Structure 1
Amino acid sequence: MVTPANKIISIQSHVAHGYVGNKVAGFVLQCQYWDVDLLNTVNFSNHTGYGSFKGQTTTGEQVLSLYEGLQDINVQYDAMLTGYIQGADGVEAMGKVCLDLKQRTPRILWLLDPVMGDEGELYVSADVIPAYRRILSYKKVDIITPNQYEAELLVGFSINNPADLDKALAVFHEDFNVMHVVISTFSFTKNKDFFYCVSSTKKSSKKPNFFKIPYMDSYFTGVGDLFSALLVDKIYRLPSGEPIEPAVSNALTIMEKVLDVTRRLCVDKLGVAVQGKIGDAETMKECELRIVECRQFYAMKDKNFNCETEISTDSQA
């Protein structure tokens, strides 16, 4: 017997060429048996890492108009995924959409990926920071997936040691009522061999869990978008009350396979391996995520990443 697919709305960027934002989420979620509605916050020729691009940003008014059209035909959803939005106007519109959907369907699952920057560099307008904080203050977000820099921007302080991390997680869990916090890239040090993914659940007596991840010798865009698309599916399918660590490990395992395939296929016209470099259109083009070629991985159940409850603050560890 054929069962209806779950329905999700994904509010993030779109590119004509390449794989970031909704170009990643749409296909990956469809492969995991989701009926996906895509609300695009930008419509660009390619992602900005190429050094040049053409296209338009969707205004907040346009986002709300598109949502109004969806409500006119009474579309209902089981989950929401929100990602890259360039300015506060768009972030606030996204917030209105998601808060309205939460009011209409309180059980709907909301994963918010606050895409703002990385490694100390902000690549959206600075006015999105207070806009995201306002959205979080309504206490309706179920899962948040910032990287370390984005988490620091949202809580308002640097995370340099375990005490800082505990304090930051408390802000998300207690002040913003976020059930699950997953910091996608994290480190107390500047170790160049590996970093961590951190997961934490509200009302859990356990300490945060750390997944150790080796660095890859290239630069890929859309990795966070892939992670959030995988994670919203894995967490949605968990039995009520189950810990999220198996879902995080599963998502990380799939990502490792996608990145391995992508890296092996990153070659130039002569068949020579290349590394992606920001601003270099040719290497960026060769190093786009191989989302289609990896379609067989998205439903896999493997969990190859073990979690730890403590990590060293020594950069040589």
Structure 2
Amino acid sequence: MVNGGVLVSQDLSCAGQVSLSAALPVLGACGLSPTVLPTAILSTHTGGFGENTFLSLNNEMAKIMAHWQKVGFDFSAVYLGYLGKRALDFWTEKISYFKQKNKLILIDPVMGDHGQLYRGIDENYVIKMRNLIKSATILTPNMTEAAFLLGKKATSNSLKTATEFAAELSSQFGVSNVIITGISLNKEKIAEVGITADHSWSLIQKKLPGNYFGTGDLFASAFFAAVMHKENLEKACSIAADFVAQAIRETPKQDSRLGPNYAAALPDLLKRWSNN
């Protein structure tokens, strides 16, 4: 067998620090030896740059996976982010292979935010995502994504509603660990809620000025890295939230569509496991 580290599958946006552009450097710096399976190539992410180009890599993904299986690649965990319609079908078909091998599978069901689905995502996509997440070990939606997965509307961004959503997702889809991220409580506070088989928790942070694209990808990547370094889920959430907050604080004045300056926050993140 060939040790492929962790398998990361999401899109590559050529401009804007989101998806693979954010996940790959964070996971690589954290020593997880990521192997990537790109789902699509976009000229930019879909947030505010107009009509971006979109090249699906679905056919190539199947060829890549077949080659890996031929040479015996093995992965310690799988991390799925933004997929797109055809890649969602691909992973719905392939995910059982990794689940049968008892791999840790983190699914960040990137579909929307602020009560709306992203451009190119529709109700059929949500229905298919509901099927895919049944294979997740850990699920990390934001409030909008949690609501769409449950067929509800997020009428309140309260900790109570988020905890109820997390419990319903866990029960309805058989996912033992659900983390709801980026809960905007008010103008000053943002939070995360987590629920596992034995307990639940909430974490509250100060909301920093600015609205940067890619913060969810950075959070999920840092969270995944912390989990792979054997931190418990609550601690992993705290580490990820601190990482994103520091990245935002260290970001100079720039176009928010380009994402926060995560590089400035990496040294402190890496210090946590430098002696491991």
* Length-normalised TM-score, structure 2: 0.87
Residue 137 of structure 2, aligned match among 135, 142, 147: 142
How far did 1:235 drift? 1.5
Residue 146 of structure 2, aligned match among 144, 151, 156: 151
Amino acid at match of 2:75: Y
Amino acid at match of 1:198: V
Q: Would you say the 8 A contact 1:81–1:110 is kept in 2?
A: yes
Q: Does 1:23 align with 2:21?
A: yes
How far did 1:6 drift? 7.2
How far did 1:163 drift? 6.4
How far did 1:217 drift? 2.0
Unpaired runs of 5+ residues, structure 1, are 268-274, 277-283, 303-317
Deviates more, 1:163-172 or 1:213-222: 163-172
TM-aligned CA distance change 1:36 to 1:168, over 3 Å: same
Residues in 2 aligned to 1:26 and 1:165: alpha-carbon distance in whole angstroms: 29
- What's 2:204 paired with? 212
Residue 201 of structure 1, aligned match among 196, 199, 202: 196
How far did 1:101 drift? 2.1
Residue 242 of structure 2, aligned match among 232, 253, 268: 253
Instruction: Give the aligned length.
Output: 268
Residues in 1 aligned to 2:83 and 2:209: alpha-carbon distance in whole angstroms: 28
- What's 1:79 paired with? 77
Residues in 2 aligned to 1:157 and 1:52: alpha-carbon distance in whole angstroms: 29
Unpaired runs of 5+ residues, structure 2, are none
Q: Would you say the 8 A contact 1:63–1:94 is kept in 2?
A: no
Amino acid at match of 1:228: A
Q: Would you say the 8 A contact 1:5–1:34 is kept in 2?
A: no
- What's 1:301 paired with? 272
Residues in 2 aligned to 1:156 and 1:144: alpha-carbon distance in whole angstroms: 17
* Length-normalised TM-score, structure 1: 0.76
Q: Does 1:226 align with 2:221?
A: no
Amino acid at match of 1:33: G
How far did 1:165 drift? 4.3
Amino acid at match of 2:29: C
| Deviations 1:58-82 (CA, angstroms, capped at 9, x unpaired) | 2543332322222122111001111
Q: Would you say the 8 A contact 1:199–1:209 is kept in 2?
A: yes
Q: Does 1:11 align with 2:3?
A: no
Residues in 2 aligned to 1:5 and 1:253: alpha-carbon distance in whole angstroms: 30
Superposed, which structure 2 residues align to 1:10-159 within 5 Å? 10-52=8-50, 54-87=52-85, 89-103=86-100, 105-106=101-102, 108-123=103-118, 124-126=120-122, 127-136=124-133, 139-159=134-154
Residues in 1 aligned to 2:24 and 2:171: alpha-carbon distance in whole angstroms: 32
How far did 1:35 drift? 1.0
- What's 1:266 paired with? 253
Amino acid at match of 2:226: K
Q: Would you say the 8 A contact 2:208–2:245 is kept in 1?
A: no
Residues in 2 aligned to 1:290 and 1:166: alpha-carbon distance in whole angstroms: 31
How far did 1:96 drift? 2.4
Task: Give the greater-gyration-radius structure (CA).
Answer: 1
- Secondary structure at the counterpart of residue 74 of structure 2: coil
Residues in 2 aligned to 1:40 and 1:237: alpha-carbon distance in whole angstroms: 24
